[in-house]
Amino acid sequence: MRRGKYPFIIGFLIVPVALYCTFVVAAYLQTFQLSLSSWSGLGPIEYVGFDNFTKLWHDELFWKSIRHNIFLLVLLPIVTIILAMVFAFLLNVGGGHRGGTTRGVWGSKVYRVIFFFPQLLALAIVAVIFGRVFGPDKSGMLNGLFPESWKPWLFLADERYAMLCILIVLIWQAVGFYVVLFSAGMGSIPAEIYEAAALDGATRITLFFRITIPLLWNTVQVAWVYLGIAAFDAFALVNIMTVDRGGPNGASSVLSLMIYRNAFEFSQAGYASALGVVLFFLTLTFAALTLRVTRRDSVEA
């Protein structure tokens, strides 16, 4: 029966595995190798031990970038999940109940379609749009909306607000996706549970906190991981939208941008790889922490 099994298996696996090993596995392995070298991208590779990491430790921009990544890592999931949760709840349960069933608000389908759309736009295009929305003069959308007498806000050109602008754009794009995701989750919660609670006189707020959130906890955790990964990226936004790419004065620099610029603009392939290694361990820590939290919560629930 299993005649010709091995030729078939090899035939099916050889191309995908070869592609994957050449462009993905090899690249990741070389990152670790190059992180111990002072390679500029040309000529022979010289190994310098952990020099790159010592240099990192004293690099002010590196610490700034880490702080910015952590800023996004904490706030992006929290704000996005709260907003998406509330909107999803309003869409699904907001319409009151008639004949014993809880309904969504009127027009909930239209809302869902509109909310989701930004998810389809490339982050690069979103970055170009919001670069103009945050324009520092009257041509920017927000400054155009402000009263005539106000002095134009600088937004991205202001060191204090640059990261906040980036956070807002990421939230703007992400919320709709999670509204749809949570809506799907809420749809699978049996209506009887809501009915029973409503019969007992539970208000909407109680329903939300006592029934919806606990039953959606798994989806929330998935959302947390996804948003965390997005927070580590943000390259397109920072590269396209910000002043001086990561500026002003490093106020919006993130790790991904540092890797890109060191590798391709400052001819520091070794240093860029060292940054890559740091990023790898940060991601790993984030994943481990998330798993840890997951386990504890599932015990509590």
Partner 1 sequence: MTNLTSSPGTEALPVVKETKSAGRKPEAKREVKAFTGLAHIALFAWALVTAGPLIWVLLASFKSNTEIFLGKPFALPEHFSLDTYFDAWGEAHIGRYFLNSVIVVLISTAGTMLFGSMAAYVLARYKFFGNRFIYYLFVSGLAFPTFMALAPLFYILKNMGLLGTYTGLVLVYIAYSLPFTVFFLAAFFKTLPYEIEEAATVDGASHTRKFFQIMMPMAKSGLVSITIFNIVGQWNQYLLPVVIMTGPGAESKYLLTQGIANISTSAGYHAEWSTLFAALTLSILPMIVVYAIFQRQIQAGLTAGAVK
List binders of partner 1 among 142-181 (CB under 8 A): 142-145, 148, 164, 168, 172, 175-177, 180-181
Q: Show contacts with partner 1 in window 222-241 (CB under 8 A).
A: 222-223, 226, 229, 232-233, 235-236, 239-240
Strand partners, 295: none
Contacts of 72 by beta carbon, 8 Å cutoff, 6+ apart: 163, 166, 167, 170, 231, 232, 234, 254
| Residue 10 burial (CB count, 10 A) | 10
- The pattern of x and - marking residues 246 through 275 that bind partner 1 according to CB under 8 A reads ----------x--xx--xx----x--xx--
Q: Residue 214 CB, nearest distance to partner 1 (Å)?
A: 18
Q: Show contacts with partner 1 in window 275-294 (CB under 8 A).
A: 276-277, 279-280, 283-284, 287
Cα(268)–Cα(55) distance, integer angstroms: 12
Q: How many residues bind partner 1 (CB under 8 A)?
A: 109
Question: Taking a C-beta distance cutoff of 8 angstroms, is the pair 243, 257 a contact?
Answer: no
Of 51-59, 65-73, 86-94, 289-297: span binding partner 1 (CB under 8 A) = 86-94
1 binds partner 1 (CB under 8 A): yes
Tokens 């009127």, located at residue: 106
Amino acid, res. 47? Y
Nearest to 217, CA basis, from 74, 85, 76, 90: 85
Q: Show contacts with partner 1 in window 29-68 (CB under 8 A).
A: 30-31, 34, 41
Enter the tokens of residue 280.
């790898």
Which segments of the chain does DSSP mark as H helices, in order?
5-20, 26-34, 51-57, 60-93, 108-116, 123-133, 141-145, 162-187, 191-199, 204-206, 213-215, 217-232, 235-241, 255-264, 269-300
Residue (205 or 299) nearer to partner 1, CB: 205
Q: Show contacts with partner 1 in window 89-148 (CB under 8 A).
A: 90-91, 94-97, 105-107, 111-125, 127-133, 137-139, 141-145, 148
Q: Residue 191 CB, nearest distance to partner 1 (Å)?
A: 17
Residue (176 or 246) nearer to partner 1, CB: 176
Q: Show contacts with partner 1 in window 195-224 (CB under 8 A).
A: 201, 203-205, 219, 222-223
